[in-house]
């Protein structure tokens, strides 16, 4: 081959090589999951979410990508993670609670699905349940509506109940709203209510110190902080011989006496259904916010024995799950 022809061949190849080197496979649709708690805290939720996506035809790594980030109960992380998802150009963000509003403030373009939210309308997440509008939709917990029912359950277990404590994150708007519901219900039952202020994990142990000898039962209000530290909370409550009621089964698995509320695992399955519709072209603002129709009562017999409580048979017969 003549030198001039050889140079032409090399020159032509040099044009083609960068195209081969930089060729990229098509980008998979990407879901950003902003977990408000820890990976272990959300493990059951993630399994349910991913399995339901698979049922609907979305397999991670094959035709969809999922980016997980964890706030570990620290609300200041919400905006940071949401900003990262915007930078990554994810196609939809899945989150819960107070992280919804923080994410909405970061992006008005990327669809946001909340698997759990206490008061999506009052919290400014959506315009209405029927027509959310904007880029946000998901599942409402209706948790504040259940405060009175939870106090009734406590009174059923502790007939002489007069003094109640509420553990809630004073820096979390939805928890503050629930405190108002609890106080209103407590007045109808004639309960005295103590509310130690917590804002960080470091505040939890000192809060229990202030409650020593001052209360008979503890109502744990929902928020990422209390959920992340639920094992510590229930351990301290058992040490103080306090009957704990909360909103989710996961607390009872961690040692609480009772929980009454929607099934979180089921809500994450339904969140996957929203994601499926959005990835197939639906607009989040056109998808109505769903409200739970089934509420689970879960009780822990082991905890009842430690506290010296005999749970009424009428209550046990109504329980959806009894942990022994």
Judged against a pLDDT cut of 80, whether residue 22 lies above it is answered with no
Residues 230-272: tens digit of each pLDDT: 999 999 999 999 999 999 999 999 999 999 999 999 999 999 9
pTM above 0.85? Answer: no
- Could you tell me the fold of the domain covering 144-261+296-323? Rossmann fold (3.40.50)
User: What is the spatial distance between Cα 287 and Cα 278, in angstroms, rounded to a whole number?
Assistant: 9
Judged against a pLDDT cut of 50, whether residue 15 lies above it is answered with no
**30-142+263-294 is classed in which CATH architecture?**
3-Layer(aba) Sandwich (3.40)
Residues 288-314: tens digit of each pLDDT: 999 988 899 999 999 999 999 999 999
Judged against a pLDDT cut of 60, whether residue 131 lies above it is answered with yes
User: What is the spatial distance between Cα 159 and Cα 95, in angstroms, rounded to a whole number?
Assistant: 39
Each domain of the chain, given as residue ranges in start order, spans 30-142+263-294, 144-261+296-323
Helix, strand, coil content of the chain in percent (nearest 5)? 45, 20, 35
User: What is the spatial distance between Cα 160 and Cα 81, in angstroms, rounded to a whole number?
Assistant: 46
Residues 38-91: tens digit of each pLDDT: 999 899 999 999 999 999 999 999 999 999 999 998 989 999 999 999 999 999
User: What is the spatial distance between Cα 324 and Cα 303, in angstroms, rounded to a whole number?
Assistant: 9
Q: For the chain, what's the residue count? A: 324
Q: Given this chain, do its domains 30-142+263-294 and 144-261+296-323 carry the same CATH topology? A: yes
Residues 208-233: tens digit of each pLDDT: 999 988 899 999 998 889 999 999 99
**What are the distances in angstroms from CA 171 to CA 176, 185, 224, 308?**
8, 22, 11, 34
């Amino acid at each position: 081959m003549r030198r001039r022809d050889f140079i032409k061949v090399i020159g032509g190849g040099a044009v083609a090589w960068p195209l081969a080197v930089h060729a990229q496979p098509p980008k998979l649709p990407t879901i950003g999951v902003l977990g408000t708690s820890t990976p272990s805290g959300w493990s059951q939720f993630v399994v349910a979410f991913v399995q339901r996506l698979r049922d609907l035809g979305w397999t991670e790594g094959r035709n969809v990508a999922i980016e997980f980030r964890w706030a570990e109960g620290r609300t200041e992380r919400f905006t940071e993670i949401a900003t990262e998802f915007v930078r990554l150009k994810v196609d939809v963000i899945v989150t819960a609670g107070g992280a919804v509003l923080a994410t909405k403030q970061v992006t008005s373009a990327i669809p946001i699905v909340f698997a759990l939210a206490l008061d999506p309308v009052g919290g400014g997440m959506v315009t209405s349940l029927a027509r959310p509008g904007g880029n946000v939709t998901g599942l409402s917990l209706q948790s504040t509506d259940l405060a009175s029912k939870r106090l009734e359950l406590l009174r059923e277990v502790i007939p002489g109940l007069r003094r109640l404590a509420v553990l809630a994150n004073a820096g979390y708007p939805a928890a503050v709203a629930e405190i108002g519901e609890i106080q209103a219900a407590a007045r109808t039952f004639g309960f005295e209510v103590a509310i130690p202020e917590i804002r960080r994990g470091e505040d939890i142990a000192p809060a229990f110190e202030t409650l020593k000898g001052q209360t008979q039962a503890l109502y744990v209000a929902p928020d990422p902080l209390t959920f992340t530290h639920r094992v510590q909370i229930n351990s301290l409550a058992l040490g103080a011989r306090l009957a704990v009621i909360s909103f989710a089964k996961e607390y009872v698995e961690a040692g609480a006496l009772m929980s009454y509320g929607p099934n979180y695992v089921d809500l994450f399955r339904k969140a996957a259904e929203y994601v499926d519709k959005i990835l197939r072209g639906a607009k989040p603002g056109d998808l109505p916010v769903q409200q739970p129709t089934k509420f689970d009562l879960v009780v822990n017999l082991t905890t009842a024995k430690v506290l010296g409580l005999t749970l009424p048979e009428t209550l046990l017969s109504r329980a959806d799950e009894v942990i022994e």
